[in-house]
């Protein structure tokens, strides 16, 4: 599978999928995942919420190779063990659907609004005790391209609540 076209990472639940690095993180820790399972995951996450047919998966994951359904089922099974059994829905006789909401926009990762090249949390009340962050990307929705932007995002993530229960009620 050619993943060079991916210019962004994907977040869903406690996971971050980094196609260019061929890495899956769970709560910041690398998860061991076979190459075929990784390719299946990329196909599903890229089309989250939509049916991905078996034929599409075969052509992307096993190009120019003839495999039967059991090979695909084995990869789906290994993904379900890692991600959870309810994350990938089986559409009987047709294919699969990735059911979690996927964020590929850094603004959504931080839980902030993007507007005209800025990430801002100014929508929260001024008297909020939650220390938010403001990061200038120079271009809304574009992942960081240098170490300065990456450092700003890292600091913003460190200040952000780790779970919804840690956030003040006015930010929920």
Domains and CATH numbers, the chain: 10-98 (1.10.10.10), 106-163 (no CATH)
Q: For the segment 95-125, what is each residue's pLDDT rounded down to a tens digit? A: 999 999 998 755 545 554 444 344 444 444 4
Number of C-beta neighbours around residue 98 at 10 A: 23
CA of residue 159 relative to chain centroid, distance: 20
The Cα–Cα gap between 52 and 68 comes to: 16
pTM for this entry: 0.61
pLDDT, the chain, mean: 75
Enumerate residues 6+ apart whose C-beta is below 8 A from 43: 1, 52, 56, 57, 60, 61
pLDDT for 44 beyond 70: yes
| Helices and strands in the chain: count of H runs, count of E runs | 5, 10
| Res 67 pLDDT > 50 | yes
Confidence category of residue 132, pLDDT binned at 50, 70, 90: very low
Distance of CA 22 to the CA centre of its chain: 13
């Amino acid at each position: 599978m050619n993943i060079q076209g991916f210019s962004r990472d994907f977040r869903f639940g406690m996971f971050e999928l980094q196609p260019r690095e061929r890495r899956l993180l769970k709560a910041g820790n690398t998860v061991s995942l076979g190459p075929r399972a990784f390719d299946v995951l990329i196909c599903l996450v890229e089309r989250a919420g939509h049916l991905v047919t078996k034929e599409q998966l075969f052509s992307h994951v096993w190009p120019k190779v003839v495999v039967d359904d059991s090979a695909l089922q084995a990869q789906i099974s290994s993904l379900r063990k890692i991600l959870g059994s309810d994350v990938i829905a089986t559409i009987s006789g047709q294919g699969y659907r990735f059911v979690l909401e996927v964020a590929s926009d850094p603004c959504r990762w931080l839980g902030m609004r993007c507007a005209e090249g800025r990430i801002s949390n100014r929508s929260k009340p001024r008297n909020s005790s939650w220390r938010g962050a403001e990061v200038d990307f120079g271009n809304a929705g574009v992942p960081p391209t240098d170490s300065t932007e990456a450092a700003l995002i890292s600091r913003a993530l460190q200040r952000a609540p780790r779970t919804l229960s840690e956030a003040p009620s006015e930010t929920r």
